[in-house]
Amino acid sequence: MATGINKQKIVSAIFSKGKKIPQGEVTTLPVMEQVIYSICREGTCAELADKAYKSLAEGFFDWNEVRVSSTREIEDCLHGMSRPIERATRIIQFLQELFETTYSFEMEFLHKKGVKQATKHLSRYQAANDYLGAWVTQRSLGGHAIPLDSPTLRITKRLGLVDKSQEETAEIRGSLEHLIPKAKGAEFTDAISQIAVEFCHDSNPRCPTCPLVSECQYGKARLKPVKKSPKAKPGAK
């Protein structure tokens, strides 16, 4: 694992070499919409999530129409994304639960609860998971949280920002939140997931063209030439 100073260098490289992702309207989405967006965003990059969210927000009359639509209809908006059935099911499930408990499609009341209580409230929804809570905390509730999906975990471990043996999400998030300033949390999340989608694939990562290769332990090890063992001389025993 990288030392503290090295980790800071890696973080600086992510900000200086990673692609700057325009924040667009995502930063201003209300809490409820941010929940839907997070379901689109987990495991992918901003570009794909933006398309899927736009398709949902503009392709239906309102959120109630999304709620009463079939999984298949929602899936059509998630074109090109992984696990579309699961995402579509969670979106409908979340809207249904919200509607049954509040008879509305808004969650601005969470701003009054304070970050800790608001995150706790969100976690009670069946469709919620750790990523969703951290995403909404980071983007809407004004808290410091780094959402961890599998691409973020993969790349932070390969870079050496997180110890390979660390498995607990809370522990990993704690280490990353300690390293990344709150004001840079969203930028970190966007930059890291863009690199994961473009270069740091699960199998066969594109290390030779990755902008972070000079900081990446895993990438450097992959690119090291394999030493050939000397050929045995003829007749030698």
User: Measuring CA to CA, which residue among 121, 109, 94 is closest to residue 40?
Assistant: 94
Closest contact distance (angstroms) between CB of 154 and ligand SF4 is 8
CA distances (Å), 213 to each of 10, 38, 46, 76, 164, in order?
10, 29, 22, 37, 18
Closer by beta carbon to ligand SF4, 179 or else 216: 216
Q: How far apart are CA 7 and CA 176, in angstroms?
A: 10
216 lines the binding site for ligand SF4 (CB under 6 A): yes
> Does residue number 88 form part of the binding site for ligand SF4 (CB under 6 A)?
no
Nearest to ligand SF4 of 66, 200 (CB atom): 200
Site for ligand SF4 in 133-162 (CB under 6 A): 155, 158-159
Span from 94-102, 114-122, 141-149, 198-206 in contact with ligand SF4 (CB under 6 A): 198-206
| Angstrom distances, CA of residue 117 to CA of 15, 113, 138, 141, 144 | 31, 6, 14, 11, 14
The least distance separating ligand SF4 from the CB of residue 13, rounded to whole angstroms, comes to 10
Give the CA distances from residue 215 to residues 3, 23, 147, 150, 208, in Å, rounded to whole numbers and listed in that order.
Answer: 12, 26, 22, 21, 12
Using rule CB under 6 A, residue 172 touches ligand SF4: no
Helices (H), 76-149: 84-102, 115-123, 130-139
Query: Given candidates 11, 118, 132, 212, which one binds ligand SF4 under the rule CB under 6 A?
Result: 212
Count of residues touching ligand SF4 (by CB under 6 A): 14
95 binds ligand SF4 (CB under 6 A): no
Interacting stretch for ligand SF4, rule CB under 6 A, among 113-121, 171-179, 215-223, 229-237?
215-223
Using N-to-C axis directions, what is the helix angle for 31-41 and 84-102, rounded to 10°?
Answer: 160
- For the CB of residue 196, give the shortest distance to ligand SF4 in the complex, in Å: 8
Site residues (vs ligand SF4, CB under 6 A): 155, 158-159, 199-200, 205-207, 210, 212-213, 216, 218-219
